[in-house]
């Protein structure tokens, strides 16, 4: 059995296959996931699991060097934006439009769909390196 905190085998598999600058998205339950992009659906019921809890769990395994967030997140759901900033520390944040974020999902290794129902609770994590 794994010693690390992340127990979801699908998410762990995607992370283990990621290289430098690859993208992994975490989204609310309404985020449209493009056809052909791997969907890791962990949504159970309304707000379970939540976006921030999922982000924190992913960050226990994935080294990141940048996050891409929709400008709309900061404008419409500032509490989510502030929690993202708090969770990632001094990692670079790139603000893009929500439409750009949805387009970039096509190039992500996977999109993790949570049960979150807060508008614009979405992020793309760009993999860093541990050396």
Active site residues: 20
On whether 28 is known to bind a ligand per the annotation, the reply is yes
On whether 98 is known to bind a ligand per the annotation, the reply is yes
Q: With both helix axes pointing from N to C terminus, report the angle between 51-59 and 78-88 in degrees, rounded to the nearest 10.
A: 10
Task: Count Cβ neighbours within 10 Å for each residue of 69-80 and write b for 16 or more, e otherwise.
Answer: bbebbbeebeeb
On whether 81 is known to bind a ligand per the annotation, the reply is no
On whether 122 is known to bind a ligand per the annotation, the reply is yes
The first and second tokens of residue 7, run together, are 């127990």
Binding site residues for substrate, as ranges? Answer: 28, 98, 120-122
Provide the annotated binding site.
Answer: 28, 98, 120-122
């Amino acid at each position: 059995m794994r010693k690390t905190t992340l127990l979801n085998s699908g998410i762990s598999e995607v992370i283990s296959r990621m290289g430098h600058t690859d993208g992994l998205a975490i989204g609310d339950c309404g985020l449209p996931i493009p056809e052909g992009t791997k969907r890791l659906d962990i949504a159970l019921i309304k707000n379970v699991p939540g976006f921030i809890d999922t982000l924190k769990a992913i960050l226990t395994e994935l080294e990141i060097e940048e996050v891409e967030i929709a400008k709309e997140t900061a404008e419409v759901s500032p509490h989510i934006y502030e929690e993202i900033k708090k969770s990632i520390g001094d990692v670079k944040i790139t603000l893009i439009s929500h439409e750009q974020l949805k387009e970039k999902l096509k190039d992500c290794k996977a999109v993790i769909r949570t049960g979150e129902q807060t508008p614009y609770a979405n992020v793309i994590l760009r993999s860093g390196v541990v050396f």
